[in-house]
Structures are given as C-alpha cells and as structure tokens.
Amino acid sequence: MKIGLLSDIHANAHALKSVLKSAKGKNVDKLLCCGDYVGYYYEPDRVLALLDNWDWEGVSGNHEAMLFDWLNDKNRKKIKDKYGSGISVAAEKLEYEMASYLYEKPITSKINVDDKQVILCHGSPWNRDVYIYPDADNETIKNMITYNSDFDVLIYGHTHYPVLWEQGNKKIINPGSIGQPRDRKPGASWALWDTVTNNVEFLRERYDVNPVIEMCKKFDPDVRYLVDVLVRT
C-alpha cells in the first residue's frame, strides 16, 4: 500500500489541494493525518471536505483543543492574541458537532496498516503539545520508542519540520506541515510511505500562496508572521 502522511494542515485548503492532487497521481491508497486541521488560516470547512473524498484516519492536535476551548468561551483573548483569527473563523464555519468530532478524535491512535503496527499522534505518544524537533537528543528519541515499543512506524507532527529516525526495524516519521512549513522551504510538506518496500519519501508541493495571503490581509492584517512563514526561504 501507498500511504500519504499528513500533518498540520491548519485550514490551508490551497496547500492541501496541491498535496491531494499529487497523492492521487502517485496512487496513494490511504491518508494518515497527525492533527491540527484547523487554526492559523481560514478554510477549515474546505479542508474537511477535501479529506472526506479519501480513505483517511487521524488524531486530534492542540489546535483542535483550542477550537473546543473557543466554542466553550475559554481562553479566547489568549488564543486570538497568539495565533490570530484562524480559530475564531473555524468556530464560525464549523458546526459545533464537527468541532467536537475533531476534538474527540484520539490523541494517540494505534492502527494496523498492511500488517504493520502504526502509532499516530500529534506532538508525542504521551502529550499532543510536546515539541520533538529534528535536533532532539538520543534520550528523547529513546523515550518515543520505549513509551509504547510495540510498533513498526510512529508518525507524529506538531513541529512543522519533517524528519525521519530509524532505530533497528522501527521508523519515527514527522511529515512536516502542509499548511505552514517552518523550515524555510516553500510549498506544502508531506511524506509518502510504501508499506511494501518500507521506503519513506518526503515531498514538497508548490502552490499559489497568493489567495492565502489575501485572506491573511483580510482577517489578520497585523499578524505579519502568518504571511512571512509562507514565503520565507
């Protein structure tokens, strides 16, 4: 099977559309998503509609928790000040039931994919809001393995940086961010895992960021970071 590994879409439907077009061309059979479907940008409804055309499974990220807080009138000023209007726009565009559905997805999921044991999480298997960057030390990587050692492949996100670690016959993969990559490489970041060859390929899809930038100017004209991170090299 060919498995598309996705994370941190962040309501950037233009980026996701480019990834899914590429995935279709590569005959991807299934998508695994590491959370953060919402937040930062402004088309969560389109993101979910695009995903629903596929066989996909996913977990809940920290931005889904923020959305649930927003809908329950918690931490609104803190969320808006730090992250811009993406969460408030998601609250307007998504039904409460859909927001709850995203929030109630598991924080960590263990699934069987083509007879391989896969752990899917957002930040780490033990906490969705932990950042494990590509320069993580050996002890952190060891913790990732020993926390729940019965797996072949562990897939996580949250950092917006792609990375692959291999320890014996185990793989730990972060596909990077589709909606807001932070490694100064333009385009939507994702990964393709071939379960037959066990090969992992990191991919980058270029797309027209101008419609996203225009939405940033409309909803968050004073939050320059939301634009800068999309175009910096």
Show me where the domains of the chain are located.
Answer: 2-231
**Ranges of the chain with pLDDT below 70:** none
Helices 62-71 & 96-103 angle (0-180, nearest 10): 140
- 138: number of Cβ within 10 Å: 9
Whole-number pLDDT of residue 170: 95
**Interior/surface letters 90-111, b for 16+ CB within 10 angstroms, e for the rest:** bbebbeeebbeebbebbbbbee
pTM for the predicted model, two decimal places = 0.96
pLDDT in tens, 110-162: 999 999 999 999 999 999 999 999 999 999 999 999 888 889 999 999 999 99
Whole-number pLDDT of residue 190: 98
Pick the CATH number of 2-231 from 3.40.190.10, 3.30.390.50, 3.60.21.10, 3.60.110.10: 3.60.21.10
- 231: number of Cβ within 10 Å: 11
